[in-house]
Amino acid sequence: MGDKANAHPGAAGRATAADHPASIRNVVLVGHSGSGKTTLVEALALTAGAVNRAGRVEDGGTVSDYDEIEHRQNRSVQLSLVPVEWDGIKVNLLDTPGYADFVGELRAGLRAADAALFVVSASDGVDGSTRMVWEECAAVGMPRAIVITHLEAARADFEEMTRTCAEAFGGDDPDAVLPLYLPLRGPEGPDGHAPVTGLTGLLSQKLFDYSSGERKESEPGEDQLPELEEARNRLIEGIISESEDETLMDRYLGGEPVDVKTLIEDLERAVARGVFHPVLAAAPAADGGKQGLGTVEVLELITRGFPTPFEHPTPGVTTIDGKPREIKACDTEGPLVAEVVKTSSDPYVGRVSLVRVFSGTLRPDETVHVSGHGLADRGHEDHDVDERVGALSTPFGKQQRPVTHAIAGDLVCVAKLSRAETGDTLSAKDDPLLMEPWQMPDPLLPLAIQAHSKADEDKLSQGLSRLVAEDPTMRLEQNQDTHQVVLWCLGEAHADVALERLRSRYGVQVDVVPHKVSLRETFAGKSGGRGRHVKQSGGHGQYAICEIEVEPLPNGSGIEFVDKVVGGAVPRQFIPSVEKGVKAQAAKGVAAGYPLIDVRITLLDGKAHSVDSSDAAFQTAGALALREAAADAKIHLLEPVAEVSILVGDDYVGAVMSDLSGRRGRVLGTEQTSGNRTVVKAEVPEIEIGRYAVDLRSLSHGTARFNRSYARHEPMPAQIAERIREETRDS
């Protein structure tokens, strides 16, 4: 890292199918929107020779879409794969969205990768959501490095940003986050800003000048060495402290020199073990240049410091019936175990699945078993089917380059898996297996939609099913109470993308309508009612009379029907008819059209006719009796109450609790957790938290998250209930 000369022609190029897992690196890029992830990917692809300066793929290919606005917009909200080759190593770069709404794509990228590059803008710093992802990676021991971008900004300070990263990511050991290079600045311009033109390697003590657009190596002057000494010594101590050679620190402190080769080997091992996190700088190449600032150094770190797929343990695997199955990590000759990490639709080839192969070798045109846990609550069914694999390919700009196979450790695009969805497992048809799923964020922003026209209504169901097949973070709900179709999303941007995909991909135009919560009704006190259904119009008439009493029951009791008829006033065969009638009316509501719950309905008396009484007549009489009882009683409108649990930084606890109070919430308690964060538990009416996913993100600057679960229905305030009744009457 830092000692290599300029890459020779054979060191770079477009990536093809890898022949051995040791020659693969899977790297996910993480950072907030605007941090420069996609620009860095493009700069690395340019340096590696995968694209030329004009954005065209090398060796006579078609125009790449790296510079097209539409493609940039797609990549800003989707996980995308950009494979390149460097020094004989295939590097699968996984570019993730920076928007919090697309954390599902980020989680998929983390699942598919073996190491992570955290991209931090020198002008924006480290945001709360990036810190949370760092903690997720730390929890599983994923190797991480940091790339600082936007050093051309007027007030960009590499040293200060490095200290900020050490504080944010270093935890108890800030010396685990240290730079490998220091920026080399050119002469000041008219604005007083000195641009970064190159890098100084702290270990190699060499200068790497990028000002010409080509990396040029030189020796530093004698006057430049003293200013590097402090940073170099700190880096050496940081590396030695993580060395597996426990005698090295004592020897170093005793004055024994440590050669650069040993330091680099220890550095690479510490990075691969996830205990040391180097900081680098990068920028795109100037006009006409082929190598962007720091891109060679980043590629060297990836190929020499990041682990091979051998070092990535295979996630838990079971047989279809749930028995644990031991799978050797990255065994190309082992049983096939692969996972769909992303599903997308192509207008020409149909469904395309991005697949990470964990074991075995995947080949085109073979039949595989598709197994999936299913997410029934999100509109995803369980999968347990055989499918024929279509063509295998790797993305190359707009093209998909065909490959003959994909070995364990590699990523590949698979065509025509019509049943497989994101998160599904691919295995041999005669040895079906199932991988444990990765954690999917819970969509908490409801989007109620309806077809814009009759033509759209005919296509809506299919369009929605294809939409949720691509995105397991989206939940489709057909609400039986409100009769609404609801897409549950992660945020406003997620919802906007869903609507646009419905329109542009599937030709379905929908209208967004106000989301309704499932309200209920109940009696506030005891009441009685008489239902009289008597009609005579030639032939058999209709005759049924019944008297009932209604009284409220405790929360959660439902509808209880009691028969207290004496003397046969209502014949036994018609008592079930009365029960059926009152329950049917209860389901329709008695005041504002919402289901009636938590009451006991007692049948006290009635009358029948030997000829004209019937099942239908007593059903009608029962319904009439319940409506009459409701007319003489006070009816409570009940709203659903959710129990919410909010994980928030200590700095925002007060603001969150104050906001909950404004939403009629009741705080149940708080609990301190690690990382200077607090869990706030509260009960809040669901009608008040329809947009809480958006509002909480704004309130906490993207650092808080929450989950919710239904607690119960309870009476809503009189003024709100009256407003809803008026809206119901007007509709």
Ordered by where they begin, the domains of the chain are 9-311 (3.40.50.300), 317-435 (2.40.30.10), 445-513 (3.30.70.870), 520-633 (3.30.230.10), 638-730 (3.30.70.240)
Question: For position 10, what pLDDT does the model report?
Answer: 38
What is the SS3 assignment for 7? Answer: coil
Query: How many whole angstroms from its chain centre is CA 610?
Result: 66
Question: For position 425, what pLDDT does the model report?
Answer: 93
Question: For position 439, what pLDDT does the model report?
Answer: 82
Q: Encoding tokens for residue 543?
A: 């005759």
Strand bridging mode 277-281 / 144-149: parallel
- Biggest CA–CA distance in the chain, Å, is 118
Contact 235, 179 (CB under 8 A): yes
Question: For position 578, what pLDDT does the model report?
Answer: 96
Question: For position 53, what pLDDT does the model report?
Answer: 54
What is the SS3 assignment for 66? Answer: coil
Contact 403, 15 (CB under 8 A): no
Question: How far, in Å, CA of 95 to CA of 411, rounded?
Answer: 13
Question: For position 381, what pLDDT does the model report?
Answer: 63
Question: For position 54, what pLDDT does the model report?
Answer: 43
Question: For position 379, what pLDDT does the model report?
Answer: 54
What pLDDT digit, counting tens, does each position of 162-200 carry? 999 999 898 778 889 999 999 988 777 666 677 888 999
DSSP character at residue 380: B
Low-confidence ranges of the chain (pLDDT < 50): 2-11, 54-73
Residue type (1 letter), 609:
H
What is the SS3 assignment for 610? Answer: coil
Question: For position 3, what pLDDT does the model report?
Answer: 47
Question: For position 437, what pLDDT does the model report?
Answer: 86
Question: For position 76, what pLDDT does the model report?
Answer: 60
For residue 105, give the nearest of 127, 80, 84 by alpha carbon. Answer: 80
What pLDDT digit, counting tens, does each position of 262-287 carry? 999 999 999 999 999 999 999 988 77
CB burial class (10 A; 0-12, 13-18, 19+) of residue 417? buried
Strand bridging mode 24-30 / 115-121: parallel
For residue 699, give the nearest of 680, 716, 686 by alpha carbon. Answer: 680
